[in-house]
Amino acid sequence: MKYNEIRKTFLNFFESKGHKIVPSASLIPNDPTLLFTVAGMVPWKGILQGTEPPFAPRVADVQKCIRAGGKHNDLDEVGFDGRHHTFFEMLGNWSFGDYFKESAIEYSWELLTKVLGLNPNKLRVTTYETDEESTEIWRKVSGKEAIRKDDKENWWSAGDTGPCGPCTEIFYDFGAGIENEDDRWVEIWNDVFMEYDRDANGNLLPLPKKNVDTGAGLERWAAVLQGKIDNYDTDLFVALMKAVEDLTGVKKTSENTSSFKVIADHLRAVGFAIADGVIPSNTDRGYVIRRILRRAMRHSQILGYKGPLLSKLYPTLITEMGEAYPELVHEEKHVVEIIQNEENSFTDLLQNGMKLLETEIQKINNNVLPGDVAFKLFDTYGFPLDLTQTILREKNIDVDVAGFEKSMNEQKERSRADTKGTRTLWESQKQLTGTDDSTKYKPDSEMHSKVLSILRNGEFVESADANDEVEIVLDKTNFYGTQGGQVGDSGELQKDGKTIMTVSEASRVDNIVIHKGTLTDTLNVGDSVLTLINTSLRQQTARAHTAAHLLQAALRQVLNEDVEQRGSKVSPDSVRFDFSFGRAMTTEEKQATEDLINKWISEDLPVSHEEMSLEKAKAKGAMALFGEKYGDTVKVITAGDVSCELCGGTHIYHTGEIMHAKINKEKSISSGIRRITMSVGTLAE
């Protein structure tokens, strides 16, 4: 069975078992604890935890995943065996509080042995050491005696906290001739029984519902179904590696195979990640993608090839995978441009780094390159550590790897410290299931709310005093917490008719709204307060948000239809809008965009706010952010007949309320991405 057919067979099977089929979510997770979507369960974390309602009891999908640079990291293995990938596709079926162990095991067995026709004698199963129930089900369903495994093998979680549970795994026997047991018996499916939630202190709390999360690597299934031991010998990888041969003019041999594997693998990780909006950079996920890309370039250098590589191979990725993932096609221009820029800039860095390395080699007298020099090569010149090591090995020089790691960790700490804030503290408050903020679209409503939690100086307290800077969670609120690029409301909380707290900004952590500000008197958990948002700032933010929609519509008319939002920040009377476009806008284009927006403002177009099903919104032609996962019911904001977008932000009701729009600046923020800053309302006037 061909690689591309396996997806369809899997999804058809689960559709026939009553599962709703959904597309893959983005590789960029909506989860600050993860760099990438590392498993099919990542987009469903809220549903598994019970903080988001399930949109269907049974779901199946094929999820794009990257396991590099985090807890789940396969980067270093790629190229050295036939089973590891940085990017891979995970086939998954889900029960959100519906079926549990019995049906999950039955479905897996039926699909593998009946539909795909695998020989049951070639399969072996494992269960968690204390999971009698699954072990008994396996006996009944397959006649097999499961091998018992411990926490290390058969307990699954995406991160250190969050939903987790025991799992049962299915292994395929690649043949008695293979000496190494790990190569012979390969895991082809993992059924996780998500029953628990691990909190920040390591405690296991039962989840509100018992769920099933299964994951199977499409690449491994392809190997099994095509009778190949090595995933890279399956049709998809053969085609990608053939393209490498054609481009470089170098034939694949047993000596250079690992370079071919690395390049084919890294092409997928880099191509898919950039198509989903990752920009190579020096931090976080951008850093991982840059490393992967450079590692591929290093292997192209080993093959003796000098020109641009992945940017030239990207069209082959589209040929092979573009049908299943239209975003690859949609983003082609953008992705190729970004990869080209990276390739061009690393070519120079490689040369300059070599110069530094040669100077440093002269200074060495103990045959060890200091770790901080290796780190400088890595950090400033973009040399992956293994590149430096390979170059030095020829001269019998080692690298002080511990020193390198020390410098690296110091840098990581610095970047982590910048982003952490109080988020993780709030995430540990599992009793807070969510703030009811359903009145956030009605700024005039007065809400009587109850104080649920007070955070002061990194500690949760029962009571805080005047002048304390605190963060507060209420049972319900009409404050809009920062989300989707729109800054949160400011305002005040009142107790017994008097101001008790000035709120400088409301923010969000998952489903809870956090009111940040300073107390003017004592406040206790359990107190009743009145929430009052600053309605004039709210109005300024709302008109800026609607103006941002008009800006996108105008750019698409003036520049072209391909212009797409890449990020935004909407604050009172000001808009920052990032979009995909390959060059600077001309003065005329900027003027035409501004004129068009002001024309729509003067026409005072009605702005409608409607709730509807996602399907209906799509049928209506509403624009969505690419790669964003939306719920089943969405809000659609329509301005006259010029703009129609899915949006959870706050908006005005007539374009005339914007008063005026003025584009202040247009500049590049990274290759292929431009940024416009615009003022509206009284600020623009």
167 or 392: CB nearest ligand SER:
167
Question: What minimum distance in Å lies between the beta carbon of 216 and ligand SER?
Answer: 8
Q: Measured on CA atoms in the order 34, 38, 39, 44, is the torsion positive or negative?
A: positive
Pick from 264, 261, 293: nearest CA to 384: 293
99 or 426: CB nearest ligand SER:
99
* Shortest-Cβ-distance residue relative to ligand SER: 215
Triad 165, 219, 294: Cα angle to 5°: 100
Token pair of 565 as six digits: 């939002």
Question: What minimum distance in Å lies between the beta carbon of 41 and ligand SER?
Answer: 5
Other beta carbons within 10 Å of 385: 18
Residue pair 434/467 in contact (Cβ under 8 Å)? The answer is: no
Question: What minimum distance in Å lies between the beta carbon of 39 and ligand SER?
Answer: 3
Question: What minimum distance in Å lies between the beta carbon of 178 and ligand SER?
Answer: 23
163 or 280: CB nearest ligand SER:
163
| Percent helix / strand / coil, the chain, rounded to 5 | 40, 30, 35
Question: What minimum distance in Å lies between the beta carbon of 415 and ligand SER?
Answer: 27
Residue pair 253/70 in contact (Cβ under 8 Å)? The answer is: no
Question: What minimum distance in Å lies between the beta carbon of 90 and ligand SER?
Answer: 6
187 or 400: CB nearest ligand SER:
187
Give the relative orientation of helices 371-379 and 332-363 as an angle to the nearest 10 degrees.
150
Going by C-beta distance under 8 Å and a sequence separation of 6 or more, which residues neighbour residue 359?
none
Residue 304: DSSP 8-state:
T
3 or 193: CB nearest ligand SER:
193
Residue 68: DSSP 8-state:
-
Residue 534: phi and psi, rounded to 5, are: -75, 100
Question: What minimum distance in Å lies between the beta carbon of 315 and ligand SER?
Answer: 31
Other beta carbons within 10 Å of 278: 24
Rounded to whole angstroms, the Cα distance separating 93 from 215 reads 7
Question: What minimum distance in Å lies between the beta carbon of 272 and ligand SER?
Answer: 17
| Longest pairwise C-alpha distance within the chain | 81
Q: Tell me which residues touch ligand SER (CB under 6 A).
A: 39-41, 92, 156, 190, 192, 213-215
Question: What minimum distance in Å lies between the beta carbon of 210 and ligand SER?
Answer: 15
Question: What minimum distance in Å lies between the beta carbon of 467 and ligand SER?
Answer: 47
Residue 586: DSSP 8-state:
P
106 or 235: CB nearest ligand SER:
106
168 or 259: CB nearest ligand SER:
168
End-to-end CA distance of the chain: 64
How remote is the C-alpha of 383 from its chain's centroid?
26
Other beta carbons within 10 Å of 518: 13
94 or 346: CB nearest ligand SER:
94
Rounded to whole angstroms, the Cα distance separating 513 from 671 reads 35
Q: Which residue type is seen at 345? A: S
33 or 463: CB nearest ligand SER:
33
Question: What minimum distance in Å lies between the beta carbon of 148 and ligand SER?
Answer: 18
Rounded to whole angstroms, the Cα distance separating 608 from 639 reads 7
Side-chain-side CA neighbours of residue 442 (13 Å): 7
42 or 222: CB nearest ligand SER:
42
Going by C-beta distance under 8 Å and a sequence separation of 6 or more, which residues neighbour residue 114?
none
61 or 666: CB nearest ligand SER:
61
